Amino acid sequence: MFPPTFRNNRWIALIVGNSRLHWGEFAGDMLRRAWDTPHRDRSWEKGETATGEGLDGTTPLWIASVVPEQLQFWQTYPQIKIIDLSCIPLTGVYPTLGIDRALAVWGAYHRWGGPVLVVDGGTALTFTGIDDRPELVGGAILPGLGSQFKSLARNTANLPQLAANERRSLPPRWALDTPSAIQSGVLYSTVAGVKDFIEAWWRDFPGSRAILTGGDCQILANALMFQFPDIARTTIVDEHLIFWGMQSIVWENSP
């Protein structure tokens, strides 16, 4: 239970992802709103980083970053607090585990308990599992939906670049045009992979939870429901897992 003094505190969470900045505005343990912005670059004026996104110099800003050079744009903010792997009370963590994966799975454990598998559909599609101790079981990484589409467009002549969110349901498996063929290849193979990892997790940890999160979580959930409805019905969708992980860390480090 969060103490009343914590519930009254306003703070900002910032997750620096591989391609975007993910923001959350909290009142204690309540997430008021969440939004995304592009990465900062040197065209931003020095003072703008301290006043943008609702920051006034007195509001605590908690940052977790998978892109170290992005941290330089926030170092002068007076109330900055950086979250790294040492802040997360997981055992079995290896030094190169992404802080975004660690926070998401810690958020899942904090909110749902363990064992739990987190499937995070972002720039990378990651699978991260922990047991009930909580100790890291392990995981896997492959390109996310958007990354797969971009890779085909960049490396194959005359193929159009498609956004991952252009289709809410699965295309025909046997496509008769190039855009649909790209979507068929990426979506069917990715969803089959997600199904395989979830089933493997449930074999190792029967009765445990699997949770979809990240920017493409709803696309993956819809595709699972279309192709594998029994798995989709027992899979949780929670796009804010990483913020719940930060919420727990902030609470534990607040007076």
Sign of the dihedral through C-alpha 85, 24, 51, 254: negative
* Alpha helix (H) residue ranges in the chain: 4-7, 48-51, 99-112, 145-155, 178-204, 217-227, 229-233, 241-252
Q: Give the whole-angstrom CA distance, residue 211 versus residue 104.
A: 10
Sign of the dihedral through C-alpha 37, 40, 43, 48: positive
Both tokens assigned to 159: 């193929």
Spell out a b/e string for 155-168, using b for 16 or more CB atoms within 10 Å of the CB, else e.
eeeeeeebebeebe
Catalytic residue among 56, 100, 120, 216: 100
Using an 8 Å Cβ cutoff, are 171 and 148 in contact? no
Q: What angle do CA 115, 145, 23 make, to 5 degrees?
A: 70
**Is position 100 annotated as part of the catalytic site?**
yes
Q: Give the whole-angstrom CA distance, residue 14 versus residue 35.
A: 10
Would you name the residues annotated as active-site residues? Answer: 100
